[in-house]
Chain A
């Protein structure tokens, strides 16, 4: 590696002009990448990892500018390059994969044509051989039946397929450098493995360099040669992937590592040292289960075609599902997207009517009460939910206090303005939200604070069952660690039951007593968490476990 690096970033500083003056998003960053190398840039939101890559591609938005430093790409000074030169470089020499593959593709153009566009733009193909080259590109990203898929529109493909098409697009012109910005966030764990194997395989095959930008230290350590850890716009540590887990040098890397859920770690292990010990386990209520679901079915009718009289067979999202949740128990509902776990939880929450089957909650059949009328049902306060996206689940026009007070006002559990405010403050303290933040609007709060508001709102009416719908999927790992611990503590303190819906087995393992693995609307495997995760019986569970990134320890 004595040769000139392919990409050399030296002393890079990027500034953004905001109403309150300039903000430095990236400060004096040094990164160099050699040919054939895979480098992971790891950091939490706001660390400047994406901005660094935008600066390299010169696609910063209007408020941002490179304030200092140098960016060299195989001898070309990218800072001084004209827009025309950059256009020529982008796609041909440097390519980028974005986080949301569906948003990165033009929805009304066939994927094959989109690949042809790139090839033609850089004069890699003429009208005669464009189609053949596009199909070859699809073939290289291991898309089955590429001739057929050439004619597919993005909406006809799954998320993983779309990301493969995006990779095919990015690699069509055989670039020397590929920048992948969170390429697998939002994809299932098995799809993530397939996509990452593909990217690293192609990198090796073609001898190009890859930059993997991610918040997931485990993923980066598994697939990269070298890791750059960023915090608040600065590089705090650069180390080979093989050693970073064994001997993290910087305190921030250690914190990040510690917060990452991993085999063998308990919930408390994720927090920095000095956190108070967990409260002793409460005795679980024996006797009748809190929630008993049996024979639950949800059909979605397919649209009738104009020509045939017969209605098509409906799509069965949930297929005769039965399970129970005991009082004080937390049950994990695990599966990949489309397995019916969200449909199931929405039905249990009584926002969706089941086609068949019964839902018995505290001894009362609630599956028959229409969802539209359940808002006024006496059991409504007893089933609450924490949503996946803390930002989207808060009304942007309400302050935190108003959001938390909403269930109190509607269920009339507390009367009078002062009593409600007092209860809000009590709930805020319970979830660890500083009381002076109660008067802020959601956009003035951080992700973790918004998650706390969402949790406070869910526990406000003293529910018996809380459904957690991937409550930490949108959060940074360090915030995730804190929120998971908070949820565990609240469960001990208030004696609630949890139904935890997730695709992340590592997170489920930390919080749940029992786990149910779902696939295609049915249960594949069910049992105590330790048993299922350590000695899985079903082939599918084994595949899920095998797809979890395993960093070299």
Chain B
């Protein structure tokens, strides 16, 4: 039905490269303020993760029993926990670890799952069968229980949390990439690439991958939130990051016991941070798609 959009638009000379991308991003954000808000939130999170540890007012690990279990005050805006540690400092410092786990696990699964899926979709046949059954096997388990099992079996380290988070997200990426690649396998431009003597590998890298990148970006943004939740969940039940390391999941777990006795702030603020981070990545998904898709640059 979009024949409607075709009436001749004034021909504007397209600007090249970075400035065009920026102009386009501005237009997308102007058209959808929620996207702008999400990007501002992301900027805040990244700032916490990079420069946060050197800006926080207190040492996140230093305990001071004299001020234990204090409600939010001016000196401690988010209050203090049972050991007298400043919760604001701990929440800010924890951003680095939580984001790092999310970023690395998503990067890992993007490369492994994305490539496996593209190969499966592009070549079909046995490649498709192997990748497909691998994804089915992973999906046969309750994913969080699978992640628990992997961390419990391999050992309680940050590296293994990253690995476990990547493994449970594998089917999502492999299936998406497979469907998108299979759809383009016989597209005219892929045939044309074959005619001009491109090898299969080059076709995958130049014709298939760049064209499914926009949709993969959206998927990455959505799974970022999921990866953060997963890492925090593992820590919450005692697998994964160990105390006293500041991490949102552990902090919520530690504070959960105090809620009944009225000390709500210990669990609330790290929980809020967790929620905002997940919220932010979910919102960014849509905006990101509009920005990276060249078709949207009218």
Contacts and interface: CB of A to CB of B under 8 A. Distances in A.
Given A384-B195, A395-B207, A16 B7 contact: yes
A392 B188 contact: yes
B6 interface: yes
Contacts of A392: 187-189
B197 A380 contact: yes
B196 A407 contact: yes
A84 to B, nearest CB: 22
B192 A393 contact: yes
Given A395-B211, A439-B16, A443-B294, A23 B192 contact: no
A283 to B, nearest CB: 29
A444 interface: yes
A383 B196 CA distance: 9
Contacts of A372: 200
Contact of A232 (B7, B31, B294): B7
B9 A406 contact: no
Contact of A349 (B9, B195, B196, B198): B195
Contacts of A63: 4-5
B2 interface: yes
B298 A18 contact: yes
Interface string B27-71: 100010000000000000000000000000000000000000000
Interface in A235-268: none
A384 to B, nearest CB: 6
A24 interface: yes
Contacts of A406: 192-193, 196, 198
Interface stretch (A47-55, A145-153, A297-305): A47-55
A379 B211 CA distance: 29
Of B3, B5, B195, the most chain A CB neighbours within 10 A belong to B195
Interface in A339-392: 349, 351, 372, 375-376, 380-381, 383-385, 387-389, 392
Given A375-B198, A392-B187, A397 B7 contact: no
Nearest to A397: B210
A323 interface: no
Interface in A47-80: 48, 50-51, 54, 59-61, 63-64
A160 interface: no
Interface in B200-257: 200, 206-207, 210-211
Contacts of B137: none
Give the interface residue-count category, chain B. 35 or more
Contact of B14 (A48, A50, A439, A454): A439
A19 B31 CA distance: 9
Give the interface residue-count category, chain A. 35 or more
A388 B192 CA distance: 11
A20 B207 contact: no
Contact of A410 (B27, B198, B295): B198
Contacts of A407: 195-197
A171 B239 CA distance: 66
A262 to B, nearest CB: 26
A233 B210 contact: no
A49 to B, nearest CB: 9
A223 B199 CA distance: 50
Contact of A20 (B2, B10, B195, B294): B10
A509 to B, nearest CB: 26
B206 A395 contact: yes
B166 to A, nearest CB: 27
A45 B6 contact: yes
Given A25-B7, A440-B14, A351 B195 contact: yes
B153 interface: no
Interface string B260-298: 000000000000000000000000000000000011011
A411 interface: yes
Nearest to A389: B188
B74 interface: no
Nearest to B294: A441
B145 interface: no
A397 B294 contact: yes
Contacts of A383: 195
A479 B39 CA distance: 44
Contact of B9 (A20, A50, A54, A441): A20
Nearest to B208: A395
A440 B14 CA distance: 7
Given A61-B4, A441-B294, 7 more contacts: A54-B4, A376-B197, A385-B191, A394-B192, A396-B295, A411-B197, A439-B14
11 contacts: A16-B5, A16-B7, A45-B3, A45-B6, A51-B4, A381-B197, A385-B191, A385-B195, A392-B189, A396-B211, A443-B295
What 6 pairs between A and B have smallest CB-CB spacing?
A393-B188, A407-B196, A392-B188, A410-B197, A397-B210, A395-B189
